[in-house]
């Protein structure tokens, strides 16, 4: 199966590599502005579809389309939610500090939406996974030290559970890979249907 990942996320690429998938990366260039009317699960489903459809439709328009006729495109999006607030990637240092301050010492939920769509056949499946994450209590200096690593700035909720941010997390209830950005077990089952 020819798999195309419609994401430039190094974490998603690493997860697919780790799981043994062979794939090509063609990132979708779409507006990821959050619609405040959508719940976290609706938002990640919507954005994963938007990314997958953008890359699929771009491939369909290309002259060398036959190369991708049998391909399936995977789009994904991840957000953190706490107190009815959706936390995407921080805009700047102040935003990252506010996010980490809000999350520290509390539980929050990470939502990842995934869309798999066929380039040629008329078939699309979208699913959403959620995982509860418990972050330990942090001092202001611990938050500043973590921010100084630069890690928070390209991650939803301003932390990376699979990197230096692992020491911030007390426990996880649910699929760890959902928090990283791609629920591998569910994705592999979905890919079997294509």
Q: Which of 31, 41, 77, 154 is catalytic?
A: 77
77 included as an active-site residue: yes
3-state secondary structure the chain: CEEEECCCCHHHHHHHHHCCCCEEECCCCCCCCCCCCCCHHHHHHHHHHHHHHHHHHHHHHCCCHHHHCCEEEEEEEEEEEECCEEECCCCCHHHHHHHHHHHCCCEEEEEEEEEEEECCCCCEEEEEEEEEEEECCCCHHHHHHHHHCCHHHHCHHHCCCCCHHHHHEEEEECCHHHHHCCCHHHHHHHHCCC
The answer to whether the beta carbons of residues 41 and 111 sit under 8 Å apart is yes
Specify whether the backbone of 146 is left (phi greater than 0), alpha (psi in -120 to 50) or beta.
alpha
Catalytic residues: 77
């Amino acid at each position: 199966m020819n798999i195309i990942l419609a994401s430039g996320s190094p974490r998603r690429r690493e997860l697919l590599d780790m799981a043994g998938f062979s794939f090509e990366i063609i990132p979708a260039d779409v507006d990821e502005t959050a619609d405040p009317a959508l719940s976290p699960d609706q938002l990640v489903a919507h954005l994963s579809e938007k990314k997958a459809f953008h890359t699929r439709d771009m491939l369909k328009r290309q002259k060398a389309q036959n190369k991708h006729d049998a391909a399936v495109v995977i789009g994904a999006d991840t957000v953190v939610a706490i107190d009815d607030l959706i936390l995407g990637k921080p805009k700047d240092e102040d935003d990252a500090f506010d996010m980490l301050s809000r999350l520290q010492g509390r539980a929050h939920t990470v939502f990842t939406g995934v869309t798999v769509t066929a380039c040629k056949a008329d078939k699309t499946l979208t699913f959403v996974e959620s995982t509860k994450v418990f972050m330990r209590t942090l001092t202001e200096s611990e938050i500043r030290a973590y921010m100084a690593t630069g890690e928070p700035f390209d991650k939803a909720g301003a932390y990376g559970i699979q990197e230096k941010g692992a020491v911030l997390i007390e426990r996880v209830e649910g699929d760890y890979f959902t928090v990283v950005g791609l629920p591998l077990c569910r994705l592999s089952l979905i890919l079997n249907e294509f």
